[in-house]
Structures are given as structure tokens and as C-alpha cells.
Amino acid sequence: MGVTKRFIYTEGINEVANIAKVFAHPARVAILKYISEQEGCICNDLVDEIGLSQATISQHLSVIGDAGLLKGRFEGKKKCYCLNLERFEEFQTLLNSFFIKTTANCC
Amino acid sequence: MGVTKRFIYTEGINEVANIAKVFAHPARVAILKYISEQEGCICNDLVDEIGLSQATISQHLSVIGDAGLLKGRFEGKKKCYCLNLERFEEFQTLLNSFFIKTTANCC
DNA sequence: GATTATCATCGTAATATTGCGATATTACGA
DNA sequence: TCGTAATATCGCAATATTACGATGATAATC
């Protein structure tokens, strides 16, 4: 075993889980935080900022990117990463619509 | 390797990651959704509702519980689980305070 | 063209997670 | 007290994730 049985859940549920997974690792949270705090574009200051290897940072960036949370483009040999705010807000909306309208019914 | 290096991040960043991890599996999202939609208390209808074994559901419940997102108490031999709304809202606040005040600066 | 800087990808070792059957544990009712 | 229902925990197999060094690819610089 060890495989998540995605097929037994609705699409909405899987989507929440998938986006949450992006934030489920502190390196990715740190990357997003750092990127969003910067003026202008940021490249691999991330490797210095966070204490991980370039390969590892790049790997995390691709996870974040695959979820649609990044906009990036090359500026010469450097790459510029920015937060995709629309997608980020979409995630917040999704989470909110899943839970915030509910109230605890007991206990 | 393979160990997340939590010690290199701030407490706040680790906290975001830890709570996000709860939502990072569809079974846990489904459990929370189901619990919050129910009138009154819910026990292990979850095993029938979601298609996982009792052992697996119980395991996921303890992950959710460890994060503080559940209130539970026994009613005879059945256990009643409810969403801990305060803790849930705390998570939302945390996420929001991390990101929503930021704007994309480029791209 | 060679060198260097920047970033992505591959391969791999270490560790974590998922899922389940088997086995406790606890509370109830007969 | 015995049997049963509900839940938790243990132990394991399968898979996923994390981290990094090595290697590639690309673009600026010499």
C-alpha cells in the first residue's frame, strides 16, 4: 500500500488536498513568503536565504510551480519568480468555501 | 537524507506547514468536510462514507486531532467528533496573515 | 570558442506517509 | 460474565517525499 486512493474522492476534495500539499512543507512556505516580500523579482537568493542546496530549492520551486502558484520568466541567465496572486486567492476561496460556512454542531 | 530540516525555519513557517499538512491528504479533507456538514455528532459512519478501512480512518483522525482541529468525546461506545472551529479559523488567519497582504511585484 | 554563472534534471540514499490486517481496549447489553 | 460493537494501536508492505551531488543546458562574459 502507501498509495493515496485519489479516485475515491470528489474532484473538489482532491483539489484542496493538492494545493494544501504545496504549503505542507516549510521550505515551500519559506520560499513563497520570501518571494512575496521582495520588491521586484527574485531569483536564487533563495539558496542563500534558506539553507538548502540549489537542487533542493529548484525541486521545491517546481512543486510550487506545478500547482500554478508561480509566475516565472528568465532575465538573461537569471530567472525571476513571482507569486501568482490570482491562483493563491483561488486557493483561499476554495478553502473558505469548504469550511468557513460551517459551524460546529456539538461538543 | 529525506528529513525535513525544520530547524532552519522560523516557528511561524513551521506552523503553517504543520497545519497545511492536515489538509494535504484527501481523506482528511473528506473527513473534515463530512464532519462539518453533519447535524449533531458523527462517529464511524466515516468508514462507510469514505471507502477506507477503520484502521486507516482512525489514523487520519488522529492526525487531524493532533493538529487541534477536532473536538471529540465518547458517548457510550461511540465517539463523537466535531470540528474545532476556533482552531480552524486560527489556521485561516495564519495563512492570510502570511500572504494576503502581499501583492505580486512583477511578471 | 572557452569560461563562468544560473538554473533544471537525474539518480540515489534516507526518511515519511499511506493503507490494511491483526490485535488490543473499552463500553454496552444479554 | 460473555459476546459484540466501536475505536485505537501495532506492525508491516508499498509508495512518496526530501535532500543532495553530479551532470546538463543556456546565456552572459571574456
| pLDDT of res. A105 | 63
| pLDDT of res. A106 | 65
* CA–CA dist A49, A12 (Å, integer): 35
Model confidence at B102, pLDDT cuts 50, 70, 90, reads low
Tell the burial category of A68 from Cβ atoms under 10 Å away from its Cβ (0-12, 13-18, 19+): middle
Give the 3-state secondary structure of residue A93: helix
pLDDT average, residue stretch B83-97: 83
| pLDDT of res. A29 | 93
Q: Which chain B residues touch A29 with a CB distance below 8 Å?
A: 9, 13, 16-17, 20, 98
* CA–CA dist A37, B104 (Å, integer): 9
| pLDDT of res. B104 | 61
Strand D–CB A61 distance below 7 A: no
Phi, psi of A71 (to 5 degrees): -115, 135
Model confidence at A52, pLDDT cuts 50, 70, 90, reads very high
For strand D, the positions having any atom within 7 A of a protein Cβ are 5-11, 13-22, 26-28
Model confidence at B83, pLDDT cuts 50, 70, 90, reads confident
* CA–CA dist B103, A98 (Å, integer): 25
Nearest CA in chain B to A29: B13
| Tens of pLDDT, residues A1-29 | 568 878 889 998 999 899 899 999 999 99
What's the CA A4/C1' C20 distance, rounded, in angstroms?
13
CB contact (8 A) between residue A107 and residue B40: no
- Closest C1' nucleotide to A78's CA: C6
Judged by average pLDDT, the poorest of A1-5, A64-68, B32-36, B81-85 is: A1-5
Model confidence at B101, pLDDT cuts 50, 70, 90, reads low
Give the rounded distance of the alpha carbon of A4 from its chain centre: 20
| Identity of the residue in A5, A17, A96 whose CB atom sits nearest the CB atom of B23 | A17
Model confidence at A85, pLDDT cuts 50, 70, 90, reads confident
CATH assignment of B10-89, given 1.10.10.10, 2.40.50.140, 1.10.3720.10, 1.10.260.40? 1.10.10.10
Given a cut of 60, is residue A38 above it in pLDDT?
A: yes
How high is the mean pLDDT of chain B? 84
Domain ranges of chain A: 10-89
Half-sphere exposure of A14 (CA within 13 A, CB side): 8
| pLDDT of res. B4 | 83
Given a cut of 90, is residue A50 above it in pLDDT?
A: yes
| pLDDT of res. B80 | 84
With CA atoms as reference, report the closest residue to A95 among A10, A20, A6: A20
The three cell numbers of residue B5 are: 530540516
Q: Which residue has the higher pLDDT, A74 or B4?
A: B4
